[in-house]
Amino acid sequence: MGFLMDGLDAEDYDRAYNDRDLLRRILSYFRPKLGAMFVVASMIVLGSVSQAAVPLLVSLAVDALADGTIAEVGLHLVGGTLLAGVLGWGFNFVRQWQSARVTGDVVLRLREDAFDAVLARDLSFYDETPSGRIVSRVTSDTDDFATVSTLTMDLISQVLMVGFVTALLFLRSVELALLTMLVVPIVVCIALLFRRLARASTRHAQRSLSRVNANLQETMGGIAVAKNFRQEQQVYDEFRPINRQSYRVTLRQGFVFSAVFPVLFLVAGLATVALVQLGGTAVIGGGLSAGDWYLFLQGVALFWLPLTSIAAFWSQFQQGLSASERVFALIDAEPRVVQTGAQDPGRLAGRIEFRDLTFGYDPGNPVLRDFNLLIEAGETVALVGHTGAGKSTLSKLITRFYEFQQGSLLIDGHDIRGLDLPAYRRQIGAVPQAPFLFSGTVADNIRYPRPEASDDDVLAAASAVGGGDWVDALPHGLRTDVGEHGRALSMGQRQLVALARLLIQDPAIVVLDEATASVDPLTEAQIQEGLDVVLAGRTSIVIAHRLSTIEHVDRIIVLDHGRIVEEGDHPTLLARGGRYCQVYNTYFRHQSPHYRAGTGFVPVSSS
Ligand SMILES: Nc1ncnc2c1ncn2[C@@H]1O[C@H](COP(=O)(O)OP(=O)(O)OP(=O)(O)O)[C@@H](O)[C@H]1O
């Protein structure tokens, strides 16, 4: 059991809604479709009446046969039965057509809402939630929700049908009708019990499916790495138990669902036997006509079918309910980054001040503790330090992707929490180590932050970066297709596109994570020139990996375990022989053009 449920826990943002809230929420999606739903409801009523009319007409025919009047009424009854059948088909057709439209529109809106919610989530949400699980919520869960609405319409139609048949049965024989009704509480109890089991097993099945999706998504994302290291077998070994778990959980769900039917059929079978016996005796004794008896037996079948399918309906209904619960939880997830105001920052000068700031991805385990740092407007600062020192963390706080727990972060003297976030972010140019390019042309990607930028603007930006020679080297210049994730361009070219994109954005603050991937010397020179152009006149925070960068910045900040252990410019820090020199010896020394293996160490004082 433990293994069966491994990894099927709820996500952090999952929540359980009570049935009433959930239904109210679902209904809010149907409210705009009231007109079409009215048509569907009318069709359901008319369809159920015409369906119930058929056995009634046949029972009249049986009575007419018994009392010899069939010759007079036969034709009418045949015509009536035919008409009821044709009308029933027509009503059903209109109902299906309209309900498909209602369902389609509702799912469309729900999926849009879910997608909007996904886009609105903070970066921390993506750190914690595998993307496959998110995809699963936006796609298959909204589909399951669609099933609920289709089934709900079916259920209403079934309930109406049961209502009509019950009325008919009571009209014919109160005793037999009461006997039939006796079984209803038993069926309802079974259905209710089943409802609980179904909901739990359905929830597990959905979670296990989203685990499969998440694993697939990650595998596809890292397939190149896996193949490089010949780790296909390991990837397969990881996938296998997750897939098998999904199989087992789904099987369990199937078992729960199928267990209910035999029980229901047994109850129905026993009731039918009793009715045949009692009804037959009544006909022989003359208390009931043959037609009525026929109507009863037909009626029981008509009566049982909806009841059993109502019980079976719970399974999918529960599936849809827990799916909608999952989608609503995604939509309602609380943002972690909370703005207390929406002050227009205007054009930023770019002064950044961390004041006694404490932050941890896990609040109980801070990465930065009472951290203080002042970066003046227009200053270029390089962050260096060993891996895990907190360099990226600083940049993520400046871009406001994460919420800090204590202290303050001031931008031009204003609390970052009080700024209009979209307006602030528009003035932050963030360049990750491996710049992400969207499918499209080089020009499309450069234009990305400002879609209305003219071709001349784009060309000017591209030319300003590294002299623009790199554009000529592309097969179709700016119209070159970059392929999925920019795969058609070299890493160096992608970086140049990202720099040109920054120029179009014209941010006040640039946060740049320098690429560690080595590029050829020409591209390296182009990137360096591009950087000089892009960073000029802006506040720049560079997570530095290149010697040429640290040699030219205004100030180097050496971080260690979330603390500033040294700061100053390159020559000063080198002369000091402190922590910077250790970092230099490890990461930058070998990038010197005069480097020979085992040489270039700067002395580090022992203190
Ligand atoms: N998304 C995250 N969730 C939890 N912990 C994280 C997350 N990102 C970073 N950390 C932790 O925070 C600490 C600082 O990480 P950070 O990424 O800022 O270091 P860094 O100096 O940028 O390292 P690198 O040079 O390797 O990128 C590390 O201990 C790291 O394990």
pLDDT, tens only, 266-298: 877 787 787 788 878 888 887 778 888 887 777
Largest CA distance in the chain: 121
- Residue whose CA is at the smallest distance from ligand 1 atom 4: 361
What is the H or E stretch that residue 478 is in?
none
Q: Ligand 1: distance of its center to the CA of 377 in Å?
A: 26
- Taking residues 117-138, report their average pLDDT: 79
pLDDT at 381: 94
Ligand 1 pocket test: which of 362, 369, 387, 393 has the largest number of ligand atoms within 8 Å of its C-beta?
393
- For residue range 139-151, what is the model confidence (pLDDT) as tens digits? 878 888 887 777 7
pLDDT value at 5 more than 50 = no
pLDDT at 394: 93
pLDDT at 371: 94
Nearest ligand 1 atom to alpha carbon 127: 1
pLDDT value at 264 more than 80 = no
Which pair of structure tokens corresponds to residue 345?
């920052």
pLDDT at 398: 94
Q: What is the DSSP string of 390-429?
A: SHHHHHHHHTT-S--SEEEEEETTEEGGGB-HHHHHTTEE
pLDDT at 594: 63
pLDDT at 4: 44
- For residue range 498-526, what is the model confidence (pLDDT) as tens digits? 989 999 999 999 998 876 656 677 777 77
- Taking residues 338-365, report their average pLDDT: 91
Domains and CATH numbers, the chain: 15-332 (1.20.1560.10), 343-427+536-607 (3.40.50.300), 431-506 (3.40.50.300)
Q: What is the DSSP string of 20-44?
A: HHHHHHHHHHHGGGHHHHHHHHHHH
- For residue range 221-248, what is the model confidence (pLDDT) as tens digits? 777 777 777 778 888 888 999 999 999 9
- Taking residues 103-120, report their average pLDDT: 89
Reported as a pLDDT band with limits 50, 70 and 90, residue 315 is low
- Taking residues 153-165, report their average pLDDT: 75
pLDDT, the chain, mean? 82
User: Of 10-19, 215-224, 496-505, 523-532, where does the model show the most confidence?
Assistant: 496-505
What ipTM was estimated for this complex? 0.96
| 560 Ramachandran zone, left/alpha/beta (phi>0; psi -120 to 50) | beta
Identify the weakest region by mean pLDDT among 489-493, 516-520, 537-541.
Answer: 516-520
Q: Ligand 1: distance of its center to the CA of 394 in Å?
A: 10
Identify the weakest region by mean pLDDT among 89-93, 131-135, 350-354, 496-500.
Answer: 131-135
Cα separations (Å) of 9 from 6, 13, 533? 8, 11, 50
Q: Are the beta carbons of 149 and 40 closer than 8 angstroms?
A: no
pLDDT value at 359 more than 60 = yes
pLDDT at 380: 93
Instruction: Give the residue with greater pLDDT, 519 vs 198.
Output: 198
pLDDT at 243: 92
pLDDT at 3: 42
- For residue range 367-378, what is the model confidence (pLDDT) as tens digits? 999 999 999 999
Reported as a pLDDT band with limits 50, 70 and 90, residue 536 is confident
- Residue whose CA is at the smallest distance from ligand 1 atom 2: 361
pLDDT at 540: 93
- For residue range 467-478, what is the model confidence (pLDDT) as tens digits? 777 888 888 888
Q: Ligand 1: distance of its center to the CA of 222 in Å?
A: 20
Other Cβ atoms within 10 Å of 325 Cβ, number: 23
- Taking residues 542-568, report their average pLDDT: 88
Q: Ligand 1: distance of its center to the CA of 221 in Å?
A: 21
Q: Ligand 1: distance of its center to the CA of 316 in Å?
A: 43
Cα separations (Å) of 190 from 19, 198, 202? 19, 12, 18
Distance from the Cα of residue 528 to its chain's centroid:
39
- For residue range 393-409, what is the model confidence (pLDDT) as tens digits? 999 999 998 999 999 99
What span, in angstroms and rounded, lies between the C-alpha atoms of 183 and 406?
Answer: 64
